[in-house]
Structure 1
Amino acid sequence: MLLGRLRDPYINYRHRRLFHVLRVSIALTVTFAVVHLFPLEHSSWALVSTVMVMGNLPHIGGVLDKGRQRLLGTLVGAGIGLLLISLPIPGRGVQIGALVAIAIATWLVFSSRQAYAGLMFAISLLLVIGNGAPDFSVALWRSADVLIGTLIGIAATLVILPHKATDVLRFMLADNLDRLARLYHAHTSATSAPGVDTRELLKATSALLVKQRGLVDAVHREGRLSRGEVDELISYQRRMLSTIELLLESHWTTREGHDRINAMQGLRDQQHSLARDLGTLAFQVRTGQPISTDISPFELHSFAELAVGARGTDGRMLFSPSGYLWLNRELARVAASTAQRLASLERLPSKRLRRRAGRHGLHEAQRLDSKEGSQNDPGSH
């Protein structure tokens, strides 16, 4: 029972800081034990490597990516270093060769995803050549220590309370969809929902988009979603956020335009339905369910006459009602595309999350949200 709770993705996400501290501490303990039980020279490099690989990355994908780059950079850098000090190069030829190799590596990894591998290449190469003297023993020990520490860090991340970047992305996506639903509902309600600070919600939603962007490589490394799929989900969120922000920040230049919108019977019902659908979509993502939310497009034909033929008291055309309807239609269209894309991701749903969703109150929270939304929806009475 306890093991099931500790492997629950939602529990791991909520307590990821504590679990990460435990993982790093246990990994360092294991590394300390290894360097004390076995006669490893320059053993401090093993300890440093363990910390460097795990660092501030609490999820599997990030550590795998960083560990892979560290191993690659270490092996190639150490190999070239051993080659340089083994060749009969006179004078400062070893240092010159190392500078040329580092320059080439820096050029190749500049502004790429392999920048950390390039850094480890340079560090390993410099550690091996030292002052240029052909000391193979020191070079081999330093390389071995780096490899041992890196492997211990990777193993600890995979075995000890494993935490996946895919689950981090899942919960961040669900949180953002919830916030978008709340923002849109606050905008479409006759009176603003009490306690809803739109500026803070907009800021929090934007911040989570930035964090999701930083997870792209880690999620891809875990093999459940590709970089393109994650980029697409982030793009949909950004477009919905921009549209809702435009709706929130829009101001009517004339009273006539506002009255025209209020006269559109059924518009508020469609808006409230879209807000509820966004909330339901967030719930399905958070609880690992297959996505079944079907978001209907906005039906604007019945409002066409009121919008297109709108004129002010001075006889001029009013363009604001048409623009307002277009923004709502675009929001519904992007939300529907988001739901369809999520439904097509066969590897995103989680059986473990579905089994344990009721244990941490997610089903009850969804029922309360639905009840509150119905009470605030004028069309439901």
Structure 2
Amino acid sequence: MRYARRLSRPLMDPHRRYQNAKFIHATRVALGILITIAFSSIARLPHAEWSTISLIIVIGGLQHHGNIRKRAAERALGTIIGAVYGLLIILQQSYFGLFPLTYLLMAVGCGVCAYHAIGKGGYIALLSAVTLVIVAGHGDNQFDEGLWRAINVFIGIVVALLLSFALPLYATYSWRFKLADTLRGCARVHERIVQHEPISNEEHLKEMARLGSALVQLRSLIPSVSKEVHMPVARLESVQRSLRIVISCLEILSSSTADRPVDASETAADSPAGTRPGHGSHVSDMLYGMARALKSGSARRLASPPRNGAQDLSASGTVAGMLATEVEQIRATLAGTASRWAV
């Protein structure tokens, strides 16, 4: 039993799951395929391939638990709408045999779905149209055939939803660890600026591009994180906004030192504001502290380090002052919401 717990410990660790997210996702999809094939073969379900197709559609391109639940619910609703309409078309064709009317009803149904597919709820509308065609064919499917196809689609949805609970990959994990990496990157840039480490303009642009790319990735995770931890989007957006300002301030400060020769005789007073040795240790300490807190899930690491009042005063009203203010804002927001994301 102790040996089993030791083996399972890495799988329970959020950071390990984050690092191996692609492997876990691929394993889960492969397991889902085996389950749907085995179940369909044992139960001898007709048109069983639609269970597998449905599972791939629901979880094939999604790894986060919250997204899978949302996609499964949308697919279930779309399947119900499309299946019911498709079965009604089959009944119409079976009783009246009017192919022109059947084609017209299918065209109208798909047209209505296409109208709603552009905008909110678009995925539901799109899946309704797809399920309509799957169930009804071109109107010449038998009623029991269309019904079995609809049932198989639901089986795929159920299997996908159940598998989303097996070693779930939460968007919150990705947000936490990507944010930690980004804050650590900001701290390294800030230390380089303060210590006047030489950097070429090309390297400076690459450095800023990496931080900008991370910012975009974090922004895409906010809706899912908000649903998973039940935290208002506005709180997450405030972190995003402050981080964007931090990166902008670092870019301004870094631009003033990129490709700038360092004269040994240059005095501290001649250095750009906020880039004097020892001046920015408080900012760097906070950035590293937040990164460690996000990675470990420990809110204690979010305590603000002691400040040097004179240094903070000299930075007020400058780019460095804005940088310090926004870093403190991120720290305060993370500390106030730690009970939600530190899981």
Could you tell me the TM-score, scaled by structure 1's length? Answer: 0.76
The CA deviation at 1:134 is 6.3
2: CA distance between counterparts of 1:134 and 1:26? 31
- Confirm whether residue 338 of structure 1 aligns to residue 343 of structure 2: no
Q: CA deviation digits over 1:186-229, x for unaligned, max 9?
A: 111133499x9544432222222222233233323424434333
Percent identity between matched residues is 24
Aligned partner (choices 296, 313, 324) of residue 287 of structure 1 = 296
State the AA in 2 paired with 1:334.
E
The CA deviation at 1:127 is 1.5
Moved more, 62-71 or 227-236: 227-236
Aligned partner (choices 276, 280, 283) of residue 285 of structure 2 = 276
Compared with structure 1, are the counterparts of its residues 46 and 251 closer, same or farther at alpha carbon in structure 2 (3 Å cutoff)?
A: same
Aligned partner (choices 44, 52, 61) of residue 56 of structure 1 = 61
Moved more, 219-228 or 134-143: 219-228
Q: Are the equivalent residues in 2 in contact too, given 1:102–1:122 (CA < 8 A)?
A: yes
Q: CA deviation digits over 1:250-291, x for unaligned, max 9?
A: 3699x9x99744398995433122112111111111110126
2: CA distance between counterparts of 1:220 and 1:50? 25
Q: What corresponds to 1:355 in structure 2?
A: none
Q: Are the equivalent residues in 1 in contact too, given 2:193–2:253 (CA < 8 A)?
A: yes
Q: CA deviation digits over 1:74-100, x for unaligned, max 9?
A: 111112222333347744223323333
- Structure 1 segment 293-372 matched on structure 2, within 5 A: 293-294=303-304, 303=314, 326-345=318-337, 346-350=339-343
Q: Are the equivalent residues in 1 in contact too, given 2:204–2:255 (CA < 8 A)?
A: no
Q: CA deviation digits over 1:125-164, x for unaligned, max 9?
A: 11222122362212111111111112111211212x2221
Compared with structure 1, are the counterparts of its residues 67 and 299 closer, same or farther at alpha carbon in structure 2 (3 Å cutoff)?
A: farther
Q: Are the equivalent residues in 2 in contact too, given 1:86–1:134 (CA < 8 A)?
A: no
Q: Are the equivalent residues in 2 in contact too, given 1:78–1:128 (CA < 8 A)?
A: yes
State the AA in 1 paired with 2:342.
P
Aligned partner (choices 27, 30, 41) of residue 25 of structure 1 = 30
- Structure 1 segment 55-204 matched on structure 2, within 5 A: 55-87=60-92, 90-112=98-120, 114-133=121-140, 135-159=142-166, 161-192=167-198, 197-204=203-210
Q: Are the equivalent residues in 2 in contact too, given 1:61–1:220 (CA < 8 A)?
A: no
State the AA in 2 paired with 1:204.
R
Compared with structure 1, are the counterparts of its residues 267 and 293 closer, same or farther at alpha carbon in structure 2 (3 Å cutoff)?
A: farther
- Confirm whether residue 234 of structure 1 aligns to residue 240 of structure 2: yes
Compared with structure 1, are the counterparts of its residues 103 and 266 closer, same or farther at alpha carbon in structure 2 (3 Å cutoff)?
A: closer
Q: Are the equivalent residues in 2 in contact too, given 1:297–1:332 (CA < 8 A)?
A: no
State the AA in 2 paired with 1:348.
W
- Confirm whether residue 34 of structure 1 aligns to residue 34 of structure 2: no
2: CA distance between counterparts of 1:228 and 1:250? 33
Q: CA deviation digits over 1:287-336, x for unaligned, max 9?
A: 101263327698678649xxxxxxxxxxxxxxxxx9xx621111111111
Unpaired segments ≥5 residues, structure 2: 1-5
State the AA in 1 paired with 2:254.
L
- Confirm whether residue 206 of structure 1 aligns to residue 241 of structure 2: no
Superposition CA RMSD, Å = 3.2
Q: Count residues in correspondence.
A: 326
Q: Are the equivalent residues in 2 in contact too, given 1:53–1:153 (CA < 8 A)?
A: yes
State the AA in 2 paired with 1:48.
I
The CA deviation at 1:174 is 0.5
Aligned partner (choices 7, 16, 24) of residue 11 of structure 1 = 16
State the AA in 2 paired with 1:145.
N
